[in-house]
C-alpha cells in the first residue's frame, strides 16, 4: 500500500526536514483529505505531541472521523491510545512508549496488538525516540524480534534522508524485511516511483510526504500504483 502523510504542527499541515526544520506548509487538513481521497488509508502524525510541545487533538479527531487513518505522535499512555481509538483511528502508531515494556503492555491491553504499529525510526544507524531527538543506541533490525509480540507491524523511517528528496536507503529496508515477517512500512526520503516499486517487490508499504507535497511524485500515478 501507499500511505500519503498528513503531519500536523501548530494546527497546520507541514513537512519537516529530518524532523526539525519546517520546509513547507500545505493546505488545510480538509483540503489534504480531498487530495488524498483516492487512497484507502492515510498516515497522520501529530508532531507537536511527538516532541511534547502541545497537541493537535481536534484536527486528529477531524481526520479520523473522515478517513481511514493510522495515527501517531506522542502516544505515550494507554489513555491516549484509547482516546485515538475512540476518535476513529484505524491503527495506532507507538514510538517512544515501545521502549517502556510496562507501558507497552498497557497500550496493547487497551487497544489490542492487531491495531498497534511500532515506529522504529533510524538516524545514524540507531533508533531515535522523543520526536527523533534522543538515540536508543540500538539498531532497528536488532529490536524487531523483541517487539513483534506487541504489534502487527512496523513503521520504519530513514531519518537521515527524511524530507531531503535525495532518495532513501533501500539496502536498509532490505535488511529490515529480512528481520521480520510482520507488515513493514517504509518512510524517509522516498522520492521516485522506482523506489516505491522496489519496496513493493520486497513486500513493504510506502509512507510518502515531501515528495508528494513538492510534486516530485504525481498523486494520480501513485493512486494507480496503489491499486
Q: Catalytic site residue 57?
A: no
Q: Catalytic site residue 105?
A: no
Q: Which entry of 7, 57, 169, 171 is annotated as an active-site residue? A: 7
DSSP type of residue 158: B
Pair 43, 6: CB distance under 8 Å: yes
How wide is the angle at C-alpha 80 spanned by C-alphas 78 and 140, nearest 5°? 70
Q: Which entry of 46, 121, 171, 218 is annotated as an active-site residue? A: 121
Pair 75, 35: CB distance under 8 Å: no
How wide is the angle at C-alpha 30 spanned by C-alphas 26 and 34, nearest 5°? 90
Ramachandran bin of 21, using left for φ above 0, alpha for ψ from -120 to 50, beta for the remaining angles = beta
**Alpha carbon distance 110, 81 (integer Å):** 7
User: How is 101-134 classified by DSSP, letter by letter?
Assistant: HHHHHHHHHHH-GGGEEEE-EEETTEEEETTTTE
From the number of C-beta atoms within 10 Å of its C-beta (0-12, 13-18, 19+), residue 140 rates as: buried
Contacts of 26 by beta carbon, 8 Å cutoff, 6+ apart? 12, 13, 14, 15, 32, 213
Pair 206, 184: CB distance under 8 Å: no
Active site (catalytic) residues: 7, 121
Amino acid at each position: 500500500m501507499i500511505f500519503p502523510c498528513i503531519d500536523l504542527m501548530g494546527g497546520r499541515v507541514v513537512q519537516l526536514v529530518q524532523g526539525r526544520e519546517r520546509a513547507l506548509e500545505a493546505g488545510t487538513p480538509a483540503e489534504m483529505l480531498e487530495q488524498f481521497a483516492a487512497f484507502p488509508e492515510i498516515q497522520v502524525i501529530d508532531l507537536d505531541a511527538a516532541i511534547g510541545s502541545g497537541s493537535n487533538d481536534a484536527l486528529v479527531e477531524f481526520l479520523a472521523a473522515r478517513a481511514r487513518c493510522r495515527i501517531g505522535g506522542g502516544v505515550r499512555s494507554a489513555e491516549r491510545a484509547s482516546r485515538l481509538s475512540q476518535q476513529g483511528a484505524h491503527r495506532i502508531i507507538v514510538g517512544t512508549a515501545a521502549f517502556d515494556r510496562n507501558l507497552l503492555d498497557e497500550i496493547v491491553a487497551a487497544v489490542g496488538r492487531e491495531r498497534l504499529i511500532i515506529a522504529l525510526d533510524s538516524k545514524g544507524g540507531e533508533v531515535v525516540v522523543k520526536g527523533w531527538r534522543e538515540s536508543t543506541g540500538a539498531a532497528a533490525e536488532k529490536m524487531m524480534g523483541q517487539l513483534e509480540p506487541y504489534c502487527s507491524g512496523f513503521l520504519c523511517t530513514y531519518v537521515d534522508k527524511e524530507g531531503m528528496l535525495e532518495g532513501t536507503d533501500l539496502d536498509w529496508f532490505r535488511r529490515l524485511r529480512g528481520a521480520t515477517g510482520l507488515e513493514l512500512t517504509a518512510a524517509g526520503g522516498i522520492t521516485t516511483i522506482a523506489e516505491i516499486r522496489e519496496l513493493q517487490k520486497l513486500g513493504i508499504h510506502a509512507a510518502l510526504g515531501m515528495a508528494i507535497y513538492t510534486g516530485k511524485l504525481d498523486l494520480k500515478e501513485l493512486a494507480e500504483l496503489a491499486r
